[in-house]
Structure 1
Amino acid sequence: MRSWFPTLARRTVASLAGVAVAVGLVVFAAAPVRAESGAGAGQAVAGDLATDYFLGTGDKLRVIVYGEQDLSGEFDVTGSGKVSLPLIGQVQAAGLTLAQFEKEVADHLANGYLTNPRVSAEVLNYRPFYIIGEVSKPGQYPYTNGMTVLNAVAVGGGYTYRANTDAVYITRGDGGEVQYPAMQSVKVLPGDIVRIPERFF
């Protein structure tokens, strides 16, 4: 008895340990992966306006054509999505980034008007955003650079007593409504429609 009992005990313990490791791997593999809801979520909503922002109706631009003061100035993006510029007339702006718009203007100017034109554009005033749903003063408001969903709620007069303060829905451009956490890290872009939902009791 004394000669084989320790060996049997060691084999039993080793076998149980192997089962425990296998079970642990199965549980780990089956565990759900949770989405991040911190700063990364805010970055996913909006990047750098200077590179990612698409122009739209209501934006006001400053366009500079270097060496050509008469062709430079401040211009509005009209309801047709275009900007009326001296010499070249209507140029598409809506749906383009600033870099794409600058190239569009330069291409127009290079087409029989200027040799190697250099164009710079910046947004002076962004188009407004909209906040609806469970806020005290829903409506259209001027956009300010760096705005977040909590800033938007404050501009809209704050939450009503029926508001769900944990979630917000944002409609951007032609896309559908997307849910985000109501956090300071979640950005709002010009033209966004921000909806504060009602909570369920």
Structure 2
Amino acid sequence: MTSLARPRWLGLAAVLALVVAILVSTEYRSASAPSAAEAQRFDPARYGADTYRSKVVPAVQKGATPLPELFAALAADKEAAGRKYGHRQGTGPWSFAVTGEGVAGPTTGSLMQVTGTGLPAQTRVQIQVGPAINGTALRDAAGFITFGQFLNQVEFADAATALNNEMRATLLADLKPADLAGQKITFTGAFSFVTPSVVTITPIEIGKAP
């Protein structure tokens, strides 16, 4: 082989080696295989199933403040009470984990009225019993879920809805509010403080008082 031909063959060999390396390292995907972005897409239902019972319920139980104690603190200084007992997202309303007891009343729409809770007479207490469960109280009162854990505001909102849906499926599926009417009950849950005249609780526990 001449000295001029040798560099040409060496160059061709290098190109072939590079092509083989590319072919070996290339991952082939079928047309039906999900993309990497799709594989990592936020799944609200899975988030609710993975987070509600194992993390949110224990957090709300641990942080629950008796309603009369909380409202006395709110009446004295709302911001101080929020810092001591609650959690908030940015400049949103304070959300609180609470526990209490009272007498179950009638259910209108998705809200069961509760009286005799130890709150001022002008404060209406109601518990969300479905089918519609609204708000972000469970997400926000838990204290460990923040906006920074999600890609965007849509996922953050979907997380709150997923927790509400999981609560409805596990706690409210067999609950018959009409059967509780007139009975003394206990409850634990979360609410976002918007006005002292209405407390709307998203529950994690509802039971008959002993």
Relative to the length of structure 2, the TM-score reads 0.31
Query: Whose relative contact order is higher, 1 or 2, with alpha carbons under 8 Å and at least 6 apart?
Result: 2
Counting helix residues as a fraction of each chain, which structure ranks higher? Answer: 2
Relative to the length of structure 1, the TM-score reads 0.32
